[in-house]
Every structure is written in structure tokens, then in C-alpha cells.
């Protein structure tokens, strides 16, 4: 898409349209356990993205033919709601949401101890309430917090964020204008503890050197998001522990 006249994605001071430096994330808010009837849930805001994730299971796998006698499967359903974008989105699955659901399921299957729950399905619903680019990454960040909130045994949380190329500059966490008018977008999910990459896609063009710099920048972003995911879970469970302690105090 051509850049509208007069729009400068990076200004003379090196700042981006929303005032960020190239290596800055958008403001992030993560809350664990926001839905009462889900087994686990999380809400994430990443800039103007607003995303809910709900987890149910492990439960009997449907459709039945997907059951695996040796392990559980993760079935992720990414759904962008009609009112989440400027031009109303037609409700229901489309090629994009089917693709995103598949790659998010695959990333989550890499961290859950699937062998502990043969024949079951762990269902993860991701609802994009408001979208402003980077929703697959914010959705994955939310989904892994929701899985942990559900108490599903897993070896790590999965933080994700994108990096890319905008006005010939490598930047972190592209917003909508940068995604639309930039040169490349590279969503990445990365486990800081083990150094594993669980998701990597790329849209657009970069040289090998730019690609390597973008990957490093996105890894740094993931490390920061990882700390926020842990804090969100600690916040929820420290409240529960202190509530239990005060109840125990009342009884005795």
C-alpha cells in the first residue's frame, strides 16, 4: 500500500508516529483470570489491541476423529470480532483466522505436557475485541497466560511480539499504520529461558542482516513481555492466597 502524502513513519528525531523509539514496545497490560466460567482466562492490551483468551479443558476431544490415544491436542480458535476493525469484519472463520488458529495451536502444543492427558482436547478461544496490528502475537501472549491460569501443566509461558522494517528502519512491535505502510513485519514467539523460537512468520522484504537484527529485537521484546506475563499470574494468585489466609484467620 502506498504511504499517504505527508505521512512520515519515522520523523527527523527518529521517533515513530505514536512517539515511540524504534526499540520500544507499545504499552502492555496483562490480567490473568478475568472470566469466571472458563477454566482459565486472560486479558491483554498491547497498544490499541484488546484481546481476551479463554481456556477449557483438558476435556473430551471433539470432533472424535481428532482424538489421539497417546496425548492431548490443543485446539485454538482465533476470532476477530466484527467491531474490532475499522471496516466491519464479516463474522465467522476466514483463511486468515484459520491460519492464525493453526500456528497458535502449534506454538502452544510445544509447551503443554500433552502426554499427561491422552484422548483430550485443550480448547483455547481467542477473541480480538479491538485490533491494531500484532493481534496474533498478543493473542498468543494472552493464551499462554490463560493456560497457566487454568492450571494446565506446561513447561513455560509463551511471549510473542513482532519486529519489522518501517521507512528503512528496523522497529519493534509494529502498529497498524506501520503494518500497512511499512516494508516488512515479522511476528515471533520466543522462550527466553531456553532460546527456542515457537513461531516465526514474515511478510514483506528484508535483507539477511535486517532479518537478523529484527529477530534479535523481537526476542528482546519477548523477554520483556515474559516478565509481564509472570507478574500478571503472581498478582492474581497472591490475591487468592491472601484471601485464603484471611478466611483461615476468621475461622480460627
Per CB under 6 A, does 141 bind ligand UDP? no
Written as nine digits, the cell of 98 is: 484459520
Pairing of strands 49-60, 73-80: unpaired
Subset of residues 157 to 176 that bind ligand UDP, contact rule: CB under 6 A = 176
Per CB under 6 A, does 50 bind ligand UDP? no
Nearer to ligand UDP, 149 or 179 (CB): 179
Per CB under 6 A, does 75 bind ligand UDP? no
Query: Could you tell me if 46 and 28 are in contact, meaning their C-beta atoms sit under 8 angstroms apart?
Result: yes
Per CB under 6 A, does 29 bind ligand UDP? no
Closest of 112, 129, 141 to residue 199, by C-alpha? 141
| Residue among 10, 17, 85, 200 that touches ligand UDP (CB under 6 A) | 85
Nearer to ligand UDP, 81 or 233 (CB): 81
CB burial string 90-110: b at 16+ within 10 A, e below: eeeeeeebeebbebbbebbbb
Subset of residues 99 to 138 that bind ligand UDP, contact rule: CB under 6 A = 131-136
For residue 110, the 8-state DSSP code is T
Find the shortest distance in angstroms from Cβ 116 to ligand UDP.
30
SS3 state at 84: helix
Find the shortest distance in angstroms from Cβ 247 to ligand UDP.
42
| Size, binding site for ligand UDP by CB under 6 A | 11
Residue 72's CB: how many other CB atoms inside 10 A? Answer: 24
Subset of residues 175 to 194 that bind ligand UDP, contact rule: CB under 6 A = 176, 179
The rounded distance, in Å, linking the Cα atoms of 220 and 46 is 16
The rounded distance, in Å, linking the Cα atoms of 161 and 189 is 7
Residue 219 CA to its chain's centroid (Å): 14
The rounded distance, in Å, linking the Cα atoms of 131 and 139 is 11
| Residue among 62, 96, 155, 234 that touches ligand UDP (CB under 6 A) | 96
Closest of 27, 43, 232 to residue 128, by C-alpha? 43
Nearer to ligand UDP, 79 or 135 (CB): 135
Nearer to ligand UDP, 75 or 175 (CB): 175
Nearer to ligand UDP, 12 or 86 (CB): 86
Find the shortest distance in angstroms from Cβ 176 to ligand UDP.
5
Find the shortest distance in angstroms from Cβ 74 to ligand UDP.
19
Binding site for ligand UDP (CB under 6 A): 85, 89, 96, 131-136, 176, 179
Amino acid at each position: 500500500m502506498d504511504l499517504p502524502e505527508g505521512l512520515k513513519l519515522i520523523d527527523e528525531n527518529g521517533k515513530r508516529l505514536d512517539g515511540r523509539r524504534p526499540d520500544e514496545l507499545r504499552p502492555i497490560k496483562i490480567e490473568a483470570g478475568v472470566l469466571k466460567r472458563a477454566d482459565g482466562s486472560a486479558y491483554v492490551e498491547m497498544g490499541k489491541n484488546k484481546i481476551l483468551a479463554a481456556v477449557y479443558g483438558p476435556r473430551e476431544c471433539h470432533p472424535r476423529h481428532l482424538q489421539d490415544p497417546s496425548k492431548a491436542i490443543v485446539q485454538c480458535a482465533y476470532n476477530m470480532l466484527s467491531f474490532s476493525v475499522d471496516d466491519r469484519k464479516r463474522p465467522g472463520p476466514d483463511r486468515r483466522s484459520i491460519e492464525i488458529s493453526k500456528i497458535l495451536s502449534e506454538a502452544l502444543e510445544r509447551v503443554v505436557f500433552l502426554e499427561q492427558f491422552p484422548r483430550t482436547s485443550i480448547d483455547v478461544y481467542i477473541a480480538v475485541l479491538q485490533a491494531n496490528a500484532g493481534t496474533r502475537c498478543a493473542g498468543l501472549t494472552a493464551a499462554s497466560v490463560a493456560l497457566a491460569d487454568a492450571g494446565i501443566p506446561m513447561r513455560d509461558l509463551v511471549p510473542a511480539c513482532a519486529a519489522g522494517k518501517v521507512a528503512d528502519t528496523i522497529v519493534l512491535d509494529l502498529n497498524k499504520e506501520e503494518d500497512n505502510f511499512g516494508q516488512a513485519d515479522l511476528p515471533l514467539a520466543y522462550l527466553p529461558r531456553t532460546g527456542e523460537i515457537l513461531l516465526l512468520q514474515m511478510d514483506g522484504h528484508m535483507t539477511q542482516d535486517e532479518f537478523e537484527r529484527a529477530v534479535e529485537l523481537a526476542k528482546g521484546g519477548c523477554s520483556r513481555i515474559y516478565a509481564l506475563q509472570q507478574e500478571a499470574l503472581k498478582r492474581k494468585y497472591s490475591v487468592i492466597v491472601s484471601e485464603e489466609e484471611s478466611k483461615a484467620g476468621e475461622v480460627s
